[in-house]
Protein backbone atom coordinates (compact mmCIF):
# COMPACT_ATOMS: atom_id res chain seq x y z
CA UNK A 1 0.00 0.00 0.00
CA UNK A 2 1.29 3.49 -0.81
CA UNK A 3 1.14 5.72 2.30
CA UNK A 4 0.66 9.48 1.73
CA UNK A 5 4.15 10.26 3.04
CA UNK A 6 6.13 7.17 4.00
CA UNK A 7 9.04 9.35 5.09
CA UNK A 8 7.04 11.05 7.88
CA UNK A 9 7.67 10.29 11.56
CA UNK A 10 4.30 11.51 12.91
CA UNK A 11 3.48 9.89 16.23
CA UNK A 12 7.04 8.68 16.82
CA UNK A 13 9.13 9.55 19.88
CA UNK A 14 12.89 9.51 19.44
CA UNK A 15 15.38 9.42 22.29
CA UNK A 16 18.70 10.76 20.97
CA UNK A 17 21.84 10.52 23.08
CA UNK A 18 24.27 13.35 22.48
CA UNK A 19 21.21 15.11 21.05
CA UNK A 20 22.16 18.62 22.20
CA UNK A 21 25.03 19.13 19.75
CA UNK A 22 26.50 18.12 16.40
CA UNK A 23 25.07 15.09 14.62
CA UNK A 24 22.56 14.37 17.39
CA UNK A 25 21.14 17.88 17.11
CA UNK A 26 21.07 17.56 13.31
CA UNK A 27 19.09 14.33 13.64
CA UNK A 28 16.75 16.02 16.12
CA UNK A 29 16.09 18.91 13.69
CA UNK A 30 15.27 16.54 10.84
CA UNK A 31 13.11 14.28 12.99
CA UNK A 32 11.09 17.22 14.36
CA UNK A 33 10.70 18.57 10.81
CA UNK A 34 9.13 15.24 9.82
CA UNK A 35 6.72 15.07 12.76
CA UNK A 36 8.54 13.25 15.58
CA UNK A 37 8.84 14.18 19.22
CA UNK A 38 12.45 14.14 20.38
CA UNK A 39 14.06 13.70 23.75
CA UNK A 40 17.61 14.99 23.83
CA UNK A 41 20.02 13.35 26.22
CA UNK A 42 23.36 14.85 27.24
CA UNK A 43 25.33 15.85 30.29
CA UNK A 44 25.03 19.64 30.15
CA UNK A 45 21.65 21.05 31.08
CA UNK A 46 22.32 24.50 29.54
CA UNK A 47 23.32 22.99 26.17
CA UNK A 48 20.22 20.81 26.16
CA UNK A 49 17.93 23.72 27.04
CA UNK A 50 19.42 25.85 24.25
CA UNK A 51 18.77 23.00 21.78
CA UNK A 52 15.18 22.58 23.03
CA UNK A 53 14.56 26.30 22.48
CA UNK A 54 15.91 25.96 18.93
CA UNK A 55 13.74 22.92 18.20
CA UNK A 56 10.43 24.12 19.67
CA UNK A 57 7.58 22.35 21.45
CA UNK A 58 8.21 18.86 20.03
CA UNK A 59 11.56 18.74 21.85
CA UNK A 60 12.31 17.72 25.43
CA UNK A 61 15.54 17.10 27.28
CA UNK A 62 16.80 14.89 30.05
CA UNK A 63 20.27 15.54 31.49
CA UNK A 64 22.02 12.22 31.97
CA UNK A 65 25.48 10.70 31.71
CA UNK A 66 25.23 7.58 29.53
CA UNK A 67 28.26 6.01 31.21
CA UNK A 68 26.14 5.52 34.34
CA UNK A 69 25.09 2.16 32.97
CA UNK A 70 22.89 1.10 35.85
CA UNK A 71 20.74 4.23 35.37
CA UNK A 72 19.74 3.44 31.77
CA UNK A 73 16.27 2.24 32.77
CA UNK A 74 15.74 5.40 34.88
CA UNK A 75 16.59 7.49 31.82
CA UNK A 76 14.00 5.71 29.69
CA UNK A 77 11.35 6.12 32.43
CA UNK A 78 12.18 9.84 32.78
CA UNK A 79 12.01 10.28 28.99
CA UNK A 80 8.66 8.51 28.74
CA UNK A 81 7.27 10.53 31.65
CA UNK A 82 8.21 13.84 30.07
CA UNK A 83 6.52 13.10 26.74
CA UNK A 84 3.85 10.71 28.05
CA UNK A 85 4.62 8.46 25.07
CA UNK A 86 6.82 5.37 24.71
CA UNK A 87 10.20 5.66 23.04
CA UNK A 88 9.78 4.24 19.53
CA UNK A 89 13.16 5.33 18.12
CA UNK A 90 16.41 5.06 20.06
CA UNK A 91 19.45 6.77 18.60
CA UNK A 92 22.66 5.66 20.30
CA UNK A 93 24.79 8.58 19.22
CA UNK A 94 26.68 10.00 22.24
CA UNK A 95 30.40 9.71 21.79
CA UNK A 96 33.85 10.98 22.66
CA UNK A 97 36.99 11.11 20.57
CA UNK A 98 40.50 10.02 21.45
CA UNK A 99 43.34 10.83 19.07
CA UNK A 100 46.48 8.99 20.16
CA UNK A 101 48.89 6.42 18.82
CA UNK A 102 47.84 2.92 19.86
CA UNK A 103 51.11 2.48 21.73
CA UNK A 104 50.36 5.58 23.84
CA UNK A 105 46.70 4.81 24.56
CA UNK A 106 46.41 3.84 28.20
CA UNK A 107 43.84 1.26 29.28
CA UNK A 108 41.72 3.73 31.28
CA UNK A 109 41.29 6.03 28.29
CA UNK A 110 40.57 3.04 26.04
CA UNK A 111 37.96 1.79 28.51
CA UNK A 112 36.20 5.16 28.74
CA UNK A 113 35.83 5.29 24.95
CA UNK A 114 34.37 1.77 24.89
CA UNK A 115 32.10 2.57 27.82
CA UNK A 116 30.74 5.78 26.27
CA UNK A 117 30.11 4.33 22.82
CA UNK A 118 29.47 0.63 23.31
CA UNK A 119 28.50 -0.25 26.87
CA UNK A 120 26.23 2.77 27.16
CA UNK A 121 24.51 1.88 23.88
CA UNK A 122 24.03 -1.70 25.06
CA UNK A 123 22.57 -0.60 28.40
CA UNK A 124 20.11 1.80 26.78
CA UNK A 125 19.16 -0.69 24.10
CA UNK A 126 18.36 -3.24 26.80
CA UNK A 127 16.29 -0.64 28.62
CA UNK A 128 14.09 0.21 25.61
CA UNK A 129 13.83 -3.25 24.06
CA UNK A 130 11.19 -4.89 26.29
CA UNK A 131 8.77 -2.00 25.56
CA UNK A 132 9.49 -2.03 21.82
CA UNK A 133 9.11 -5.82 21.62
CA UNK A 134 5.88 -5.65 23.65
CA UNK A 135 4.48 -3.09 21.19
CA UNK A 136 6.10 -4.91 18.21
CA UNK A 137 7.30 -1.54 17.00
CA UNK A 138 10.62 0.24 17.20
CA UNK A 139 13.84 1.33 15.54
CA UNK A 140 17.26 1.29 17.16
CA UNK A 141 19.91 3.29 15.36
CA UNK A 142 23.63 3.46 16.11
CA UNK A 143 26.09 6.13 15.04
CA UNK A 144 29.15 4.26 13.83
CA UNK A 145 31.92 5.83 11.74
CA UNK A 146 34.34 5.41 8.86
CA UNK A 147 36.61 4.12 11.65
CA UNK A 148 34.26 1.13 11.84
CA UNK A 149 34.75 0.40 8.14
CA UNK A 150 38.45 0.86 7.44
CA UNK A 151 41.78 1.50 9.14
CA UNK A 152 42.49 5.05 10.33
CA UNK A 153 45.63 5.89 12.31
CA UNK A 154 45.63 7.40 15.86
CA UNK A 155 42.09 6.26 16.74
CA UNK A 156 42.50 2.65 17.92
CA UNK A 157 40.08 2.98 20.86
CA UNK A 158 37.51 4.89 18.82
CA UNK A 159 37.81 2.40 15.93
CA UNK A 160 37.39 -0.53 18.32
CA UNK A 161 34.22 1.08 19.68
CA UNK A 162 32.74 1.98 16.30
CA UNK A 163 33.45 -1.49 14.89
CA UNK A 164 31.94 -3.14 17.99
CA UNK A 165 28.73 -1.16 17.44
CA UNK A 166 28.37 -2.62 13.95
CA UNK A 167 28.79 -6.18 15.22
CA UNK A 168 26.35 -5.60 18.06
CA UNK A 169 23.84 -3.98 15.69
CA UNK A 170 23.97 -6.91 13.26
CA UNK A 171 23.56 -9.57 15.94
CA UNK A 172 20.69 -7.68 17.54
CA UNK A 173 19.00 -7.27 14.16
CA UNK A 174 18.92 -11.04 13.71
CA UNK A 175 17.26 -11.44 17.12
CA UNK A 176 14.52 -8.81 17.06
CA UNK A 177 13.66 -7.93 13.45
CA UNK A 178 10.94 -10.60 13.21
CA UNK A 179 9.23 -8.92 16.17
CA UNK A 180 8.72 -5.46 14.68
CA UNK A 181 11.96 -3.89 15.88
CA UNK A 182 14.43 -2.83 13.19
CA UNK A 183 18.07 -2.14 13.98
CA UNK A 184 20.50 -0.17 11.81
CA UNK A 185 23.63 1.96 11.88
CA UNK A 186 24.82 5.05 10.08
CA UNK A 187 28.52 5.40 9.32
CA UNK A 188 29.02 9.15 8.93
CA UNK A 189 31.95 10.33 6.90
CA UNK A 190 33.69 13.50 7.99
CA UNK A 191 30.99 15.88 9.21
CA UNK A 192 31.57 19.42 10.44
CA UNK A 193 31.07 19.25 14.21
CA UNK A 194 32.99 19.77 17.45
CA UNK A 195 34.41 16.22 17.34
CA UNK A 196 35.76 16.73 13.83
CA UNK A 197 37.26 20.09 14.79
CA UNK A 198 39.10 18.37 17.65
CA UNK A 199 40.24 15.53 15.43
CA UNK A 200 41.65 17.89 12.80
CA UNK A 201 43.05 20.62 15.06
CA UNK A 202 46.53 21.57 13.87
CA UNK A 203 46.53 18.70 11.36
CA UNK A 204 46.11 20.30 7.96
CA UNK A 205 47.57 17.22 6.26
CA UNK A 206 44.81 15.02 7.68
CA UNK A 207 42.12 17.44 6.51
CA UNK A 208 43.64 17.47 3.01
CA UNK A 209 43.86 13.67 2.99
CA UNK A 210 40.19 13.32 3.95
CA UNK A 211 39.02 15.68 1.21
CA UNK A 212 41.31 14.10 -1.38
CA UNK A 213 39.79 10.66 -0.83
CA UNK A 214 36.19 11.91 -0.65
CA UNK A 215 34.70 11.89 -4.16
CA UNK A 216 32.37 14.77 -3.29
CA UNK A 217 35.45 16.73 -2.05
CA UNK A 218 33.66 18.30 0.92
CA UNK A 219 32.79 17.71 4.56
CA UNK A 220 29.20 16.79 5.40
CA UNK A 221 26.69 18.61 7.59
CA UNK A 222 24.77 17.31 10.62
CA UNK A 223 21.57 17.50 8.54
CA UNK A 224 23.06 15.06 5.99
CA UNK A 225 23.13 12.54 8.84
CA UNK A 226 19.74 13.74 10.10
CA UNK A 227 17.91 12.98 6.85
CA UNK A 228 19.49 9.52 6.68
CA UNK A 229 18.32 8.90 10.26
CA UNK A 230 14.80 10.02 9.33
CA UNK A 231 14.75 7.72 6.33
CA UNK A 232 15.99 4.67 8.24
CA UNK A 233 13.49 5.33 11.07
CA UNK A 234 10.54 5.92 8.75
CA UNK A 235 7.97 3.53 7.26
CA UNK A 236 9.78 4.01 3.92
CA UNK A 237 12.57 1.82 5.33
CA UNK A 238 10.25 -0.84 6.74
CA UNK A 239 12.18 -3.65 4.97
CA UNK A 240 15.62 -2.37 5.97
CA UNK A 241 17.32 -3.85 9.02
CA UNK A 242 20.87 -4.82 9.94
CA UNK A 243 22.54 -2.37 7.57
CA UNK A 244 25.32 0.14 8.10
CA UNK A 245 24.60 3.07 5.81
CA UNK A 246 27.63 5.20 4.92
CA UNK A 247 26.69 8.89 4.66
CA UNK A 248 30.04 10.10 3.54
CA UNK A 249 30.17 11.84 0.15
CA UNK A 250 31.64 8.59 -1.18
CA UNK A 251 34.61 8.47 1.24
CA UNK A 252 34.20 4.79 2.07
CA UNK A 253 34.49 3.76 -1.57
CA UNK A 254 36.73 6.54 -2.87
CA UNK A 255 40.31 5.83 -3.87
P1 LIG B 1 29.73 16.19 19.45
O2 LIG B 1 30.90 16.32 20.39
O3 LIG B 1 29.01 17.44 19.09
O4 LIG B 1 28.68 15.16 20.00
C5 LIG B 1 28.93 14.19 20.97
C6 LIG B 1 27.77 14.25 21.94
O7 LIG B 1 27.84 13.17 22.86
C8 LIG B 1 27.79 15.55 22.76
O9 LIG B 1 26.49 16.09 22.79
C10 LIG B 1 28.22 15.09 24.13
O11 LIG B 1 27.71 15.88 25.17
C12 LIG B 1 27.60 13.67 24.13
N13 LIG B 1 28.24 12.83 25.15
C14 LIG B 1 29.55 12.46 25.22
N15 LIG B 1 29.74 11.70 26.31
C16 LIG B 1 28.55 11.59 26.93
C17 LIG B 1 28.11 10.95 28.12
N18 LIG B 1 28.94 10.26 28.89
N19 LIG B 1 26.79 11.04 28.45
C20 LIG B 1 25.92 11.74 27.68
N21 LIG B 1 26.28 12.38 26.56
C22 LIG B 1 27.57 12.30 26.20
O23 LIG B 1 30.29 15.49 18.13
P24 LIG B 1 29.51 14.74 16.94
O25 LIG B 1 30.42 14.77 15.79
O26 LIG B 1 28.13 15.27 16.79
O27 LIG B 1 29.45 13.23 17.46
C28 LIG B 1 28.23 12.51 17.57
C29 LIG B 1 28.49 11.05 17.23
O30 LIG B 1 28.88 10.97 15.85
C31 LIG B 1 29.63 10.42 18.01
O32 LIG B 1 29.29 9.08 18.34
C33 LIG B 1 30.78 10.44 17.03
O34 LIG B 1 31.71 9.44 17.31
C35 LIG B 1 30.04 10.20 15.73
N36 LIG B 1 30.72 10.54 14.49
C37 LIG B 1 31.06 11.82 14.20
C38 LIG B 1 31.68 12.11 12.98
C39 LIG B 1 32.06 13.51 12.56
O40 LIG B 1 32.73 13.68 11.53
N41 LIG B 1 31.65 14.55 13.27
C42 LIG B 1 31.97 11.08 12.08
C43 LIG B 1 31.61 9.78 12.43
C44 LIG B 1 30.99 9.53 13.63
Query: Cα of 28 to ligand 1 centre, how many Å?
Result: 13
SS3 content of the chain, % helix, strand, coil (to 5): 50, 15, 35
8 A C-beta contact, residue 62 and residue 39: yes
> Does residue 3 carry a pLDDT above 80?
no
Question: Residue 255: its pLDDT value, please?
Answer: 82
Cα dihedral across residues 165, 92, 111, 160: positive or negative: positive
Tally of domains in the chain: 1
Per-residue pLDDT of 143-169, as tens digits, reads: 999 999 999 999 999 999 999 999 999
Per-residue pLDDT of 100-123, as tens digits, reads: 999 999 999 999 999 999 999 999
Task: Kindly give the number of the ligand 1 atom that is closest to the alpha carbon of 146.
Answer: 43
Residue 3 within any structural domain of the chain: no
Question: Residue 217: its pLDDT value, please?
Answer: 96
Query: Cα of 93 to ligand 1 centre, how many Å?
Result: 6
* Pocket (CB within 6 angstroms of ligand 1): 17-18, 20-24, 42-43, 65-67, 93-96, 116, 143, 145, 188, 190-191, 193-196
Q: Which of 176, 189, 174, 186 has its CA nearest to residue 220?
A: 189
> Does residue 124 carry a pLDDT above 70?
yes
Which residue's CA is the closest to the ligand 1 atom numbered 19?
A: 65
Residue 214 within any structural domain of the chain: no
Residue 168 within any structural domain of the chain: yes
What CATH number does residue 175 fall under?
A: 3.40.50.720
How far is residue 222's CA from residue 16's CA, in Å, rounded to a whole number?
A: 14
Helix, strand or coil for residue 145?
coil
Query: Cα of 95 to ligand 1 centre, how many Å?
Result: 4
Residue 163 within any structural domain of the chain: yes
Q: Is 158 a catalytic residue?
A: yes
Residue 53 within any structural domain of the chain: yes
8 A C-beta contact, residue 26 and residue 245: no
> Does residue 244 carry a pLDDT above 90?
yes
> Does residue 1 carry a pLDDT above 70?
no
Residue 215 within any structural domain of the chain: no
Residue 110 within any structural domain of the chain: yes
Domain span including residue 88: 13-191+222-248
Question: Residue 184: its pLDDT value, please?
Answer: 99
Return mean pLDDT, the chain: 97
Residue 116 within any structural domain of the chain: yes
Q: What is the mean pLDDT of residues 87-91?
A: 99
Amino acid sequence: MITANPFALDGQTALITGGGTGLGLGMAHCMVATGARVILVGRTESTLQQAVRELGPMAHAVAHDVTELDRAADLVSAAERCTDTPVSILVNNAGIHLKKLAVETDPDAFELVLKTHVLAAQALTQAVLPGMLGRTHGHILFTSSMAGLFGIPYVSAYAAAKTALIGYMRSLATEVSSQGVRVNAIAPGWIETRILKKALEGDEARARKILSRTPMAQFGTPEDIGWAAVYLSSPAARFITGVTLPVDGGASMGF
